[in-house]
Structure 1
Amino acid sequence: MNSKMLVFSNAVAGQDDAFNDWYDNTHLADVAEVPGVVRGERYEIVPSALGGGGEPAHRYLAVYELSGDPEDVAKAFGAKAATGEIKLSPTLDMSTLSVQIWRARDTGSSAD
């Protein structure tokens, strides 16, 4: 099953350097150790002249590739967070955090 966990986030005001240091050097590896997480990559918004909507709600995005049942991965992530194996940084703005798991659509085969 092909699925991705998308994590949209922001740093607490004035804490971008410390936030990125924690995310890049600690958190990304901690999440990658969750059973069912294959790997993760981070992105930052690119200011664009494409227009539409003004300032984006999030500056940072992490995309994690998952294997197996996404519900099992979510439970494993929650368990590691509950035990403190995954620690969150005070530089993470929890009020804007958005996490979703997306699954590839099965469009079937139309080959005749």
Structure 2
Amino acid sequence: MIEALLVVFTNPIEGRDDDFNDWYTHVHTRDALGYRGSIAQQRFRLSDEQVQEFPGGRFFAKYLALYEVYDARRFVQEHIDNALTPRMVIEDSIDISRMDDFHYYPLHYRDKAPRTFQTGSVVVEQIKSKPGHEAQFRDWYNDHYLPARFREEGIITGALLAYDPHGQLVEFSPEHDHVGIWRLSDDRARSLWRAHDLEECPHIDRTALAVTCWDILTDRLTEDAIHHPTSAALAGEERARARIQAAGTEMKDRGEHLKH
């Protein structure tokens, strides 16, 4: 059973999507899942079809990763101990100017098609409860909103998770103290969120609400698959690491040339 879900929103440096995805999928994911504390991970790309408008016309992140974690504190400590070493290579294709990278802890979960939870696209609800209204919001979501939404066709799973300071990589708190994660069997179910049912809740900050739709980018990868990789997975990882190393060598040589 998972203890937490690590929700990670990221962006590549402008024009370097291919390098970023090559590194994240074939190197970073495999590095991270090799650490103690994790179970599985899956990556998504921001869908062209959205149900909410955002400032500037687009949500701030292009990519989403969901890590299933059974020991959040251990998983974070492994990151701290290994970041920027050969055990966790960080390529310069990632835009570090803004990343949301927080563990959220399950409060409520429903599944109408067990063992198919990794096959559908995802809708993510980022929710900020009003000060002093956290308990009322959770009651409303668990007793009213989630059961009603879950009965709709095209939905596989629904979950409400809450932020807690335990086992976090950074010392500051996220803007949103809750997330709803919905997996769909049919992308047409995204239209259910156009009604903005969440905005009816009197216990949330409507100005902070963010509802986004995500398409599958990679299959769900388990910790076991990291420790017992296929030949194709090994080949992909070796190729990606060689590319990153070659790019680093080229940059170093260019720097030496400029000195002279």
Q: Structure 2 vs 1, CA of residues 51 and 98 (structure 1 numbering), >3 Å: closer, same or farther?
A: closer
Structure 2 contact 27–89 (Cα < 8 Å) conserved = no
User: Are 1:63 and 2:66 matched, yes or no?
Assistant: yes
User: What's the offset of the Cα at 1:81?
Assistant: 1.1
User: Are 1:76 and 2:46 matched, yes or no?
Assistant: no
User: Are 1:10 and 2:14 matched, yes or no?
Assistant: no
- Unaligned 5+ runs, structure 2: 109-137, 139-260
User: What's the offset of the Cα at 1:75?
Assistant: 1.3
Match of 2:47 in 1: 46
Match of 1:110 in 2: none
Kindly name which structure, 1 or 2, has the bigger radius of gyration based on alpha carbons.
2
User: What's the offset of the Cα at 1:82?
Assistant: 5.4
User: What's the offset of the Cα at 1:2?
Assistant: 2.6
User: What's the offset of the Cα at 1:78?
Assistant: 1.1
* TM-score calculated relative to the size of structure 2: 0.38
User: What's the offset of the Cα at 1:84?
Assistant: 4.2
Q: Structure 2 vs 1, CA of residues 12 and 82 (structure 1 numbering), >3 Å: closer, same or farther?
A: closer
SS in 2 for 1:105: strand
SS in 2 for 1:104: strand
Runs (4+) of structure 1 moved beyond 3 Å? none
User: What's the offset of the Cα at 1:83?
Assistant: 4.1
User: How many residues end up aligned between the 2 structures?
Assistant: 106
Structure number with greater CO (CA < 8 Å, separation at least 6) is: 1
CA distance in 1, matches of 2:64, 2:50: 20
Structure 1 contact 37–65 (Cα < 8 Å) conserved = yes
Structure 1 contact 5–66 (Cα < 8 Å) conserved = yes
- Unaligned 5+ runs, structure 1: 108-112
The amino acid across from 2:26 in the alignment is N
CA distance in 1, matches of 2:84, 2:52: 41
User: What's the offset of the Cα at 1:102?
Assistant: 0.8
Q: Structure 2 vs 1, CA of residues 7 and 49 (structure 1 numbering), >3 Å: closer, same or farther?
A: closer
**Residue 106 of structure 2: which of 101, 104, 107 is its match?**
104
Aligned-pair identity (%): 24
User: Are 1:26 and 2:43 matched, yes or no?
Assistant: no
Q: Structure 2 vs 1, CA of residues 78 and 58 (structure 1 numbering), >3 Å: closer, same or farther?
A: same
Q: Deviations over 1:20-71 (max 9, x none)?
A: 1111111110010111011111100001252322310000011110013x12
CA distance in 2, matches of 1:67, 1:7: 16
CA distance in 1, matches of 2:80, 2:104: 17
